[in-house]
Structure 1
């Protein structure tokens, strides 16, 4: 039990700084995309991906990418870097389609 308490202290207390708070806020922002998607799907009774999903993806992705750069975490940098390309591309495709067919 002491080892678990020591681990918890090392991870969550000893490292407590601005970047830990920023990282938690970033992860919360990123998680909100799933909450938004779930709420929108429940509202219409089928699975949908609202545009807000992509905006939360971008906001959370930028914040997590920044966190990864500051903390020198290559897995976060690579994962979020690629994700950001995909999120921006999806928004581009959505807006391109809306320009062609404003009824969408």
Structure 2
């Protein structure tokens, strides 16, 4: 009876060690799982950033489609355009005076 118990205990230890090996060094080990979790977190934050950018671009596109004010604003800021009859004033701040010795 004692022999059977020792044999059973030996088999259980071998099974336990085999499972531990798979846990630490197997195909889907703990280190790989942690790396994948970090990659998932990074990808989720990147997705959120891109979704925010997409919403901003979508709002800009809708604004461009709906009204002329956005087109006019863009022409003024990007191209320096003015309406007929308007006067354009550009203020240039003087550069600081350098004292030479």
TM-score of the superposition, structure 1-length normalised? Answer: 0.28
TM-score of the superposition, structure 2-length normalised? Answer: 0.28
- Structure number with the bigger relative contact order (C-alpha 8 A, sep ≥ 6) is 1
Q: Hey, which of these two has a bigger chunk of helix by percent?
A: 1
Which protein shows a greater Rg? 2
